[in-house]
Structure 1
Amino acid sequence: MTRIVPWVFGAVYGIVLLAGLYFVVGGLGGGDPLRLTGFLAGMAMLFVVEVVAWRAPRWEVWLLGVRLALFVVVVAFDESGLSRVLFVLVPFAAYLAFGRRVGVVLGGVALALLVGGFAVRVPGWYRDADHVSDVLMFSMGLVLALAMADVALRERRAASRVAELSAAAERSRMARDLHDSLGHHLTAVSIQLEKAAAFAERDAGVARQALADARTSVGRALEDVRASVGALRAEPARLVDALAGLAADGVDLHVDGEERGTDQATATALYRAAQEAVTNARRHGRAATVGITVTFGAHGTRLVVTDDGIGFDVTTPRDGFGLLGLRERAALLGGTATVDSTPGAGTRVVVTVPAILPP
């Protein structure tokens, strides 16, 4: 179940608790101490259930039954009758835990029980404006609860889809990397070996140099393979921790703000973007200094990578990952990526990713 549920449940509990206390303090009921004690105890247990549900989401199915039992207890002790609204939360939670069909069915059952209870306890209830109003408001609450559950469920599926697309994009990027780097090195090895074979009898010195160059290309190819394997294995739990690994390799890292609950897809995407930008700065830009600045804001995360390398003309098409790959990575998370560079003046890469949920 999504993390929105505890917030919704807690808010409804708070409203019901305040309404019940107002009913007693305002002298609108009989003021029975035993019923008030039972009501307060039941509400306290509901808050405890939400704490447990937050810390142990795997128990959510069982806790749904506990909530339902406590709802019955609270309604039985509540003199105001306003706590009946708690039953709106049952189809809401069921919708998130079991799907649309179960949520809608339980919503219908809850409405039928309310109407049935009125029919048994209050003859001619349908002629009373207060009872009819109760049924209408309960029905409206059911509709809103189910609609909210549907939005939360779609949001959860969208977040899962983003993670899947991010993983697919990462596989595509790694394929491009292997083609661009490993393919280049293997081609160089093949050429050097052919050269060594051709000069083996005519010029031993040239042949030896060709073999030495081939060994150098093999070493570079192995370094690229190790880097690619390490990138595939690394799944940063926290973006700052992952970027600190790049800083250990001589990159200046500056963090602005506090990282709070960065999801896996966002952390991975931003880390890969930073990793790619740093690699390009050193491999192609021949930069002496590379800096990373990450800013955590209320509406998203901003990553900036700068270097003092040779730069390039951004209007000239380039092979490899480049600007297109950066944009693809950011777009998967609803963000943007820009690359500013001028020949001889270094490069600046900016990736901005919005927050999935408001803080």
Structure 2
Amino acid sequence: MASQPSAVPWIPPVLYTAVLAGGIYHAAVSDGPVHASRIAGFAAGLVLLLALELLKRRRWSPSTPARVAAGLLAVRLVLFSAVAVLDGSGISRALFVLVPFTAYLAFGRRAGLVCGVGCVALLVTGYTLWVPRWWVRAEYVSDLLMFGLGLALAGSMAAVAVREQQARARLEGVLAELEDSHARLSEYALRVAELSTADERNRVAREIHDSLGHHLTAVAIQLEKAEAFRELDPPASAKAVSDARWSAGRALTEVRESVSALRDARPFSLTRALADLVRHLGNDRLTVTLHVTGDEAGYDAESLTALYRAAQEALTNAHRHGRATRIDVTAAYGESTARLVVADNGQGFTTAPTARPSGTGFGIRGMRERVELLGGNVDIDDSPAPRAAGGAVVTVTVPRSPLLSGSI
């Protein structure tokens, strides 16, 4: 067992100094003969004890190995005995209270108790051998009682010191754990920040594609149409320019609505946005109809926005890639889920000349990510066999209470 670091290192030097001062003072005022050699030996023993404490503190601080502690205790015991023999005042007997005190600190409570009992037994044995009938002499009985009281006080101080050391060690352990936890939390926070940045980057990419991308695509299509019909059909060309102007204005409006939503402005209305979208998308070559059932009240803005972006993507794909002439949009608000269905009579995803396989484009992938974050589902059916009209059907459902509100 390793020695505990001393929580009260000042006690031994103070006691040594007090004993030295008391012994010298007793020699100075005593009426009996003064033996210079005894006084010198007495003082030298106490100086050696002081040097031993200094060596221990410098060489084996903050804790002392068990073998070294045992050796130092034995050396102290020898020096205590020598000083007691050379001391004519008897005050040096107080030094022996340090034996159980030091043993308690170094080896624990049991060792301190054993040493304390041993010191009392040693004192009683000395009295018995050299002081006849000492038990009837008040001064010796008083000395024994005071010595026992000193041992008790020393043991109590040692117990308090040990508990203090243990509490300090536990506190240091807790602080080390806190530092480790802080380091891990900092690492986790960095990872969360990186993931949040990636999520935000993906969200912005989806917003740009689904909103600005959709309207810019519509502007490009309408301008191409205006250019193609400028001489052949001036009214159709003028209408295409008007539709392109509306798409550009709608893109600006959606940007403003997104900013307003962040500022808690007027809530987004899916029904109104779908009606506006369908009304301006239809023309003499494309018929777009909208059917709405139920009430969108109770659905959060994230879910409604996800359905609107899905409608934009599906309408763009049907018109541009599927070359549809008729598109039916149905929005149904139920008690627990809202459903959007976009069905067209075009060429579908896999058969359209400019389309990629179903669900592989960035827009479809972004649509799935957006809806799945809310706990919803996207289903795309572009096999024309079950439907005489052919084309594709995109069905999107979202729950009334999204799983991760605010994640899109």
TM-score normalised to the size of structure 2?
A: 0.46
1:56-83 C-alpha deviation (Å, 9 max, x unpaired):
1234432222111111111111111210
Give 1:146's aligned residue.
155
Q: Select which of 61, 64, 67 maps to 2:73.
A: 64
1:87/1:110 contact within 8 Å kept: yes
Separation in 2, partners of 1:168, 1:8: 33
Structure 1 position 104, deviation (Å): 0.8
Residue 157 to residue 181, structure 1, CA distance change in 2 (3 Å): same
Separation in 2, partners of 1:50, 1:28: 34
* Aligned residue runs from structure 1 range 180-329, under 5 A: 180-192=189-201
Give 2:174's aligned residue.
165
Give 1:174's aligned residue.
183
1:27-58 C-alpha deviation (Å, 9 max, x unpaired):
24431122112111111111111110110123
Separation in 2, partners of 1:78, 1:99: 31
1:2/1:152 contact within 8 Å kept: no
In percent, how many aligned pairs have the same letter?
40
Residue 18 to residue 165, structure 1, CA distance change in 2 (3 Å): same
Give 1:9's aligned residue.
12
Residue 48 to residue 24, structure 1, CA distance change in 2 (3 Å): same
List alignment gaps of at least 5 residues for structure 2: 214-408
Q: Select which of 16, 19, 23 maps to 1:20.
A: 23
Correspondence 1:74 to 2:83: yes
Separation in 2, partners of 1:173, 1:5: 33
Separation in 1, partners of 2:31, 2:171: 52
2:100/2:112 contact within 8 Å kept: yes
Give 1:107's aligned residue.
116
Give 1:33's aligned residue.
36
Question: Root-mean-square deviation (CA), in Å?
Answer: 2.5
Q: Select which of 92, 95, 111 maps to 1:86.
A: 95
2:7/2:162 contact within 8 Å kept: no
Separation in 1, partners of 2:141, 2:183: 63
2:7/2:165 contact within 8 Å kept: no
The structure with more radius of gyration: 2
What amino acid maps onto 1:42 in structure 2? G
Give the SS at the match of 2:10: helix
What amino acid maps onto 2:109 in structure 1? R
Separation in 2, partners of 1:9, 1:35: 22
2:73/2:99 contact within 8 Å kept: yes
Residue 29 to residue 161, structure 1, CA distance change in 2 (3 Å): farther
What amino acid maps onto 1:50 in structure 2? E
Structure 1 position 196, deviation (Å): 6.0
1:39/1:74 contact within 8 Å kept: yes
Separation in 2, partners of 1:87, 1:123: 23
Give the SS at the match of 2:156: helix
Separation in 2, partners of 1:12, 1:111: 19
Residue 125 to residue 138, structure 1, CA distance change in 2 (3 Å): same
Give 1:134's aligned residue.
143
Separation in 2, partners of 1:140, 1:15: 18
Give 1:216's aligned residue.
none
Structure 1 position 188, deviation (Å): 2.0
Structure 1 position 23, deviation (Å): 1.1
1:235-282 C-alpha deviation (Å, 9 max, x unpaired):
xxxxxxxxxxxxxxxxxxxxxxxxxxxxxxxxxxxxxxxxxxxxxxxx
Separation in 2, partners of 1:85, 1:110: 11
